[in-house]
Amino acid sequence: MGRSYRIPLPALAASAFVLVTLAIAMVFFVAPNDADQGFSQRIFYFHVSIAITAYACFAGGAWKAFRHLTRRDPRYDLESYVAVHQGVILGVLVLLTGSIWAKISWGHWWLWSEDQLVLFLVLFLFYCAYFMLRFSVDPGPQRANLSAVYALFGVVLIPVSFAAIRLAKNLIHPVVFTLQGPRFGGWILVTYCVAQAAMLVLAYTLYRVELAGKLLDSRLRELREVLA
Amino acid sequence: MTYARDVVALARKDLLLELRARDTLPAMLLFVVSTFVVFHFAVGSSPSRLAANGLLWVAIVFTALLGLGRAFVPEREQRTLDGLVLAPVDRSTIWVAKSIAALAFLGAAEVVALPVYGLFFHRLSGSAVAGVVLADVGICAVGAFLGAIAVATRARDLLMPLLFLPLAIPIVVGGVGASVAASPGRYLGFLVLYDALFSVVCWATFEFVVTE
Amino acid sequence: MTYARDVVALARKDLLLELRARDTLPAMLLFVVSTFVVFHFAVGSSPSRLAANGLLWVAIVFTALLGLGRAFVPEREQRTLDGLVLAPVDRSTIWVAKSIAALAFLGAAEVVALPVYGLFFHRLSGSAVAGVVLADVGICAVGAFLGAIAVATRARDLLMPLLFLPLAIPIVVGGVGASVAASPGRYLGFLVLYDALFSVVCWATFEFVVTE
Amino acid sequence: MLRASGIGKRFGERRVLRGVDLDLARGGFLVVTGPNGSGKTTLLRICAGLARPTEGELEVEVGRGEVGYLGHDPLVYRELTALENLDLYGRLYRVPERRERVGMLLERFGLWEARHDRVGSYSRGMTQRLALCRVLLHDPALLVLDEPYTALDAEGAVLLDAQLEELRAERALLVSTHDPERVERFATAHLGLAAA
Amino acid sequence: MLRASGIGKRFGERRVLRGVDLDLARGGFLVVTGPNGSGKTTLLRICAGLARPTEGELEVEVGRGEVGYLGHDPLVYRELTALENLDLYGRLYRVPERRERVGMLLERFGLWEARHDRVGSYSRGMTQRLALCRVLLHDPALLVLDEPYTALDAEGAVLLDAQLEELRAERALLVSTHDPERVERFATAHLGLAAA
Ligand code: HEM
Ligand SMILES: Nc1ncnc2c1ncn2[C@@H]1O[C@H](COP(=O)(O)OP(=O)(O)OP(=O)(O)O)[C@@H](O)[C@H]1O
Ligand SMILES: Nc1ncnc2c1ncn2[C@@H]1O[C@H](COP(=O)(O)OP(=O)(O)OP(=O)(O)O)[C@@H](O)[C@H]1O
Ligand SMILES: [Mg+2]
Ligand SMILES: [Mg+2]
């Protein structure tokens, strides 16, 4: 079942470590201070890259869910679950970093008037419901199917929610990636790219670690059963 | 054609069941009416147009939710889902039929509720009504699907709102827009898109909800 | 004393059934937050004090209906009401226990919801909270009674839909009054009266609901 | 213990039982037979106090807490475990040594290993065994058993035989069945109901 | 018609079936026996396509519409009448001469008089008869019957015997039971499951 093109875990862990160190170094020593937000703006590099990584996790979870539905292999169910799990953890971090930043630059921990923020909260709630769903079904093929289907709904909901927000059009939340391309350049962009890469690799590493642990668990269980 | 005939057979059964047991519609009616009474009492007869409209959408979403949570209860109580799943029909017909039945109940509740709303608050524009109709379709399509999911879990009724509400937010945004915006066209278009998109997803994946 | 012990045994069972899902409390929290998010998208971020109050009551009524709708579901699905009726306990304990369980469910939701409400909208006055508590008692007492009627098949067809509306609306009106009126005393008094009256009626007649 | 005369029951227009007489004393074992839909369950529910006859007199000499009724439905909660179900009934019936008795019955009917499983995951025979535990839990003086052998395997049937053997001397039993041979050796009286 | 090799099923941690092989051809009649909780129902649900084995291969040669499954639950709606239930299934299975066939089956199983009654008011045996009607309605090629004699009176059992006699030549049957003698004369093969 093991797929040979997988990057070995130690190499992955090493590159994650290097990238994260590099990103932290660049955020604090290379990136320039923001003109009107000062030092605190540096949280941006984490905030945004974590948010994008969270979306990547949700998308990955949905992709694995799709594979599960076409192949009906419990392994994909596990992978999908682990990916969504990572996404939710990162989602908490987005809410936290965003709140800290909001407190510093707007003076409030949370603004209901920001549909963009509320939208993220909605998606976060959606994936919390995913967990509730999983926990209230006995393990087995049915649980795998229900989770997979709901994870698929997630990737449809994300763009639909974005469209809804664009419609409602109430955007003080900074929009960096506009149709005209990124609004910033130079070291900011480079630092951001490194931070983003670091987050993605770190998340993938953690995903692989958790997966390996879970697989080990189920192998042990099988082994115990064979022995019994 | 046989697809349509299967859907009709199943939807007929759902309507018959409600006619016999009368579980769903009374609860929905009670809720809508008390929502309006509460609001009428709380804010008097002339709340801002915006607030009143928002209330209408809250009422619609939660009324639907109340009904949708019970959509698959007969199948669960008598475990007849097995019987339907065994039949040589496309499994998605089960979802289509449930959505239609749910739409019928929600429609019935709204036939009462919308005039009452007009009476208590203010008349609804044509585009608002169009928004309600389009929203109903999306709500019932997604809701019936999630009802099938929720009923297979241990937490059931408790889970249903959690599964449903995040997915209902775009509908609320579109519906509110359609009823208050100056140019409702965009919002109605958005609702059509929502309905189409989620109906396709539900239709394509329902099979997995009811089979192992 | 044995009466109290029987009630405890039965209520324990109802709570166990409730908690079988394990994560009831986090689910409540999610539910409450989801509800507020829907409100946010429906009425905007800063509704008037009165409108916010109205929304609170809409949420309470919805949660109560949700909880009460499921109150007798286990008894109905597994027809275990027969088992309880056969036991040598005063039959009214069944109603008392169900009311308590429903109250616990609703109370748990409110323990989460009221502070969150205070956080998002504005603080609730003491009399508003008193109104909520008194309304809860009435809603659960009457709701559990009507739920039992719905399960005991004979009366099912007509009574339920007919009774529920007229019985529930006064509580809601009283509760809303207690939270928005200038002098809430009258409303609170009304709620106390309502609770007392209907509790006595339910307590005295429950036996006839569950036995032939 | 139980005396009925001229009992009749109708559901709306439909008359299900007509003029049934029975007399069951301590040590009695009355077997009720009859084709499907002849009213066995209806009669047993009346005797157990779950339904009321529309005609005739019924006299039950024992209190509500001393009747044990096994019906077609197991009367247990599917979402609870066997232990939780029996514990609930033990409390309601104020069974002395409740926990010990629950353990003893679970063991006797072969459910001890499964005591912490949701009843909803039980097989049909296991559910029937649990229902039997529920009936015997409070050591009732009058047992009303509606087709008690249903769903039991050979071993379970032998277990039930042993139970009935043990009970019949000191209790009164009212048992319906489609297989009267099975309980022939216990029976002290027969009642055959005619098709409606 | 039906071929299975090395079938296993587990529910979470609990393993219920292990390495079950079976081979059932047209004209075959396989009797499955085993104590309560040994996995008969689980196996039959897998063969009927209601559950998926966690291990092993299953090959069913007939389409979904040609399988008839009788489970522990009757799979009919309690709030509908017998007629409405059978009519629904008749439509879903696209039974030719649906109304006539429904009438014929109701009459054959002695439910004609009760056809307009809510199934919820039926006696247990009548519900089982209705479930049998449901299974036979579309004249399936593969019949999977889980304890089909349950709740039937003597006359009902004879009716079912006659049905099985009639069916076995041209169909394949998979029948679980706790009373293998009853179906001994039809059986072409046996499968005994061991207690879990
Ligand atoms: C609790 C509060 C916040 C939450 C939940 C939040 C959430 C998010 C999310 C999910 C994204 C990525 C999705 C996207 O590209 O739109 C994002 C991007 C971003 N956030 Fe926040 N945010 C919060 C507060 C803030 C604050 C206070 C600021 C700055 C004043 C900020 C600045 C940005 C920027 C610049 C981006 C990149 C925008 C883009 O790529 O379009 N955020 N935020
Ligand atoms: N609640 C009810 N409403 C209407 N009719 C009923 C009701 N309960 C039972 N009946 C009818 O009463 C008759 C007798 O039912 P009962 O369950 O007593 O039969 P039974 O002898 O136990 O049959 P079985 O052997 O099938 O269990 C049946 O015709 C049934 O339809
Ligand atoms: N959904 C489930 N979850 C967990 N365990 C289950 C589930 N379904 C069945 N089991 C377990 O599988 C075992 C076999 O059950 P099954 O119903 O197949 O037995 P059976 O042979 O049909 O017994 P019976 O003769 O009592 O009908 C039982 O121990 C049961 O507890
Ligand atoms: Mg009977
Ligand atoms: Mg079985």
The 3-class secondary structure across chain E, one letter per residue, is CEEEEEEEEEECCEEEEEEEEEEECCCCEEEEECCCCCCHHHHHHHHHCCCCCCEEEEEECCCHHHEEEECCCCCCCCCCEHHHHHHHHHHHCCCCCHHHHHHHHHHHCCCCCCCCCEHHHCCHHHHHHHHHHHHHCCCCCEEEEECCCCCCCHHHHHHHHHHHHHHHCCCEEEEECCCHHHHCCCCCEEEECCCC
Q: Is the pLDDT of residue D28 over 90?
A: yes
- The neighbour count for residue A180, using CB atoms within 10 Å, is 6
Mean per-residue pLDDT, D36-55 = 94
Per-residue pLDDT, averaged over D36-42, amounts to 94
Strand-pair partners of E176: E32, E146
Q: How far is the CA of A207 from the centre of ligand 4 (A)?
A: 57
Q: What distance in Å separates the CA atoms of residue C58 and residue C40, rounded to the nearest whole number?
A: 14
Count up the domains in chain A and report the number: 1
Residue A170 reports pLDDT greater than 80: no
Given a cut of 70, is residue A146 above it in pLDDT?
Answer: yes
What is the pLDDT at residue A179?
A: 45
pLDDT in tens, D66-78: 999 999 999 999 9
Chains near B with 3+ CB pairs less than 8 A apart are A, C, E
pLDDT of residue A37: 64
The ipTM, to two decimals, is: 0.91
The model's pLDDT over E32-63, given as tens digits with 9 standing for 90+, comes to: 999 999 999 999 999 999 999 999 999 999 98
pLDDT above 90 covers what percent of chain C?
29
Measured N-to-C along each axis, helices C24-43 and A115-135 cross at an angle, to the nearest 10 degrees, of 150
Domain assignment of residue A192, given as a range = 41-172+185-227
Which chains neighbour E (Cβ–Cβ under 8 Å, 3 or more pairs)?
Answer: A, B, D
Core vs surface per residue A33-53: b (16+ CB within 10 A) or e: eeeeeeeebbbbbbbbbbbbb
Phi/psi for D11 (5° steps) reads -110, 105
CA angle E177, D111, D90 (to 5 degrees): 125
C-alpha dihedral sign at D53, D54, D59, D61? positive
Q: B184 pLDDT band (50/70/90 cuts)? A: confident
Chain B residues inside the 8 Å CB shell of A168? 173, 177
Instruction: Give the range among A56-60, A172-176, C83-87, E76-80 with minimum mean pLDDT.
Output: A172-176
**pLDDT surpassing 60 at residue C156:** no
* pLDDT interval class at D91 (50, 70, 90): very high
Residue C162 pLDDT grade (very low, low, confident, very high; cuts 50, 70, 90): low
Q: Average pLDDT, stretch A22-33?
A: 79
Residue D99 in this model has a pLDDT that exceeds 50? yes
Q: What pLDDT, in 10s, does the model give residues C29-68?
A: 888 889 888 888 888 767 777 788 888 888 888 888 888 8
Cα separation of A63 and A84, whole Å? 11
Beta bridge partners of E143: E68, E173
% chain E with pLDDT above 90: 90
Range A62-87 average pLDDT? 93
pLDDT, position B109: 93
The residue-averaged pLDDT of B64-84 equals 90
* Band of pLDDT at residue C158, cut at 50, 70 and 90: very low
The arithmetic mean of pLDDT across residues E185-195, rounded, is 92
Distance CA B181, CA B5 (A): 40
State whether the beta carbon of A44 lies less than 6 angstroms from ligand 1: yes
**Closest alpha carbon to B42 in E156, D161, C173:** C173
- Ligand 3 centre from A120 Cα, in Å? 44
- Find out whether the beta carbon of A94 lies less than 6 Å from any atom of ligand 1: yes
What are the extents of the domains in chain B?
A: 2-211
State the Cα–Cα distance between residues E128 and D36, nearest whole angstrom: 10
In this structure, chain B runs to a length of 212
**Residue A2: is its pLDDT beyond 60?**
no
Beta-carbon separation of E35 and D153 below 8 A: yes
The mean pLDDT of D104-125, rounded to a whole number, is 95
Chain D positions touching C2 (Cβ under 8 A) are 94
The dihedral of CA E102, E107, E109, E110: what is its sign? Answer: positive
Above pLDDT 90, what percent of chain B? 59
Computed on alpha carbons and rounded to an integer, the radius of gyration of chain C in Å comes to 18
Report the alpha-carbon distance of residue C84 to residue B178 in Å, rounded. Answer: 52
Give the residue-averaged pLDDT of B53-78: 89
Residues of B in contact with E130 (CB under 8 A): none
Please report the sign of the dihedral spanned by the C-alpha atoms of residue C177, residue C178, residue C181, residue C185: positive
d(CA C182, CA E14): 63
Average pLDDT on E74-92 reads 95
Which of A135-139, B31-35, E8-12, E150-154 has the highest mean predicted lDDT (pLDDT)?
A: E150-154
Specify the pairing of strand D2-11 against strand D14-24: antiparallel
In this structure, the residue with its CA closest to atom 10 of ligand 2 is: E121
> What is the C-alpha to C-alpha distance for residues D3 and D47, in angstroms, rounded to an integer?
9
| DSSP β-bridge partners for residue D17 | D9
Give the separation between CA A71 and CA A54, rounded to whole angstroms.
Answer: 25
The amino acid sitting at A225 is E
The average pLDDT across B52-70 equals 90
- A1 in any annotated domain: no
